[in-house]
Structure 1
Amino acid sequence: MDAQLAGPLLGTLVDGRLRIRAVVAQTAMATVHAAVDERLGRTVALKVVHPPQPRRGQAAPFDAERFAEAATGLARLTHPNVAAFYGQGQHDGLPYLVTEFVRGRTLRDVLAERGRLSPAEALAVTEQVLAALAAAHRIGLVHRSVKPENIMVAEAPGGGHDLTEAVIKVTDLGLADAVEAGGAEPSITAAYVAPEFVSDGRVDARGDVYSTGIVLFELLTGRAPYHGERPVEVAWQHVERDVPAPSQLAAGPPVLDDLVASATRRAPAARFMDAGAMLSAVQSARHGLADATTRMRQVAQETMVVSQVQPADRPSWARLHDEPAEPRTRTMTAASATTGLLEQGRQQYARLMGDPRGRMGLLAGAVALVLLVLVGGYYLAFGRYDTTPQLVNLTKQEAEATLRGAGLEFTYAKAQFREDVPKDVVLVQDPAAGADVVSGGTVTLTLSAGPERYTVPDVSGKPWDQAVADLQAEPLKLKPVKLAEKYSDLVPKGSVLETLPKAGAEVEVGAQVKVVLSKGRAPVTVPSVEGKPLAEARKILEELGLRVEVEQVDADKPFETVVKQEPVLGTGVERGTVVKLQVSKNAQGTVMPELRNWGCGDAENHLAGMGLRVEIRGVRGDKNQYRVERQFPNAGFPLQPGQRVVLRCERR
Structure 2
Amino acid sequence: MDIQVADTLLGSLIDGRYRIRGRVARGGMATVYTATDERLERTVALKIIHPTQAPDARARLAGFVERFTDEAKTIARLTHPNVVAVYDQGVHNGLPYLVMEYVRGRTLREILIERRRLNPGEALAILDQMLAAIAAAHRAGLVHRDVKPENVLVAEAPSGGAGNLIDSVVKVADFGLARAVEASADEENGGQLMATVAYVAPELVTEGRADPRSDVYSAGIVLFEMLTGRVPYDGDRPVDVAWQHVDRDVPPPSKFVPGLPSVLDDLVTRSTRRDPGERPTDAGALLTEVQGARDDLGNASVNTAVLRQVAQPTMVVSSVQTTDRPSWARLPDQKAAAPAAAPQQPRRRRAAEPADTPPLPERLKAMWQVVMSDRRGRTAVAAAIVVLGLVAALGGWWFGVGRYTVAPELVNMSKAAAEEQAARGGFTITWGDPRHDENIERDVVLSQDPPTSERILKGGTITLVLSLGPERYQVPDVVGKTFDLAQLDLENAQLKVTKGADRYDNNLPAGTVIAVDPAVGTEVKPGDEITVFVSKGRAPITVPNLIGKSVAEARNILAGLNLVARESYVDSDQPKDQVLRQEPADGAGVERGAEVKIDVSKGPPAVIVQRVIGMPCPQAKAALEAQGLTVRVDFNPNGTVAYQQPGENSEVPPATEIAIGCF
Q: Identify the structure with bigger relative contact order (alpha carbons < 8 Å, sequence gap 6+).
A: 2
TM-score when normalising by structure 2:
0.44
TM-score when normalising by structure 1:
0.45
